Amino acid sequence: MKLAISVDGDSHQDSLSLYAWLREDSDLRAAAELSLDPPDRASEDMGTGEVISAVLQHAESLTSIVIAVAAWLRPRSTSTSVTFTYNGIPVTIDNPTEEKIKAVCAALERRDDAR
């Protein structure tokens, strides 16, 4: 399962910060291969910087990565949001609450089931 993660309204530092945060999680490192990819032209024009690619070894790892991103996002500005893109469908989270985290996981899992 390959997932693209981007920080919306991104500064280069936000992408690097999230990438470093995810790489520090030992459980996540064991469950996903992470890389930081440069933005394509369309992404740059929309204000999105680098994209974090996550190749998950198991679909169950999806919840872990969403929770890790939510933990990184919580202390940030309310204008910061993160978009997960899977199978070409974006799902965005901002101001992460338990309900929103569950909704993002459910939406991404539905995308996986639709494959």
Is 55:61 a contact under the CB 8 Å cutoff?
Answer: no
Query: What is the count of structural domains for the chain?
Result: 1
Domain that holds residue 6: 2-113
pLDDT at 19: 94
Which CATH number belongs to the domain containing residue 28 in this structure?
3.30.70
pLDDT tens figures, 81-112: 899 998 888 999 988 888 888 888 888 887 65
- The predicted model scores a pTM of 0.83
Is 34:22 a contact under the CB 8 Å cutoff?
Answer: yes
Across the chain, which has 115 residues, the per-10-residue mean pLDDT values are 84 88 90 85 55 87 90 84 88 87 85 58
Question: Distance from CA of residue 23 to its chain's centroid?
Answer: 13
CA distance 12 to 70: 19
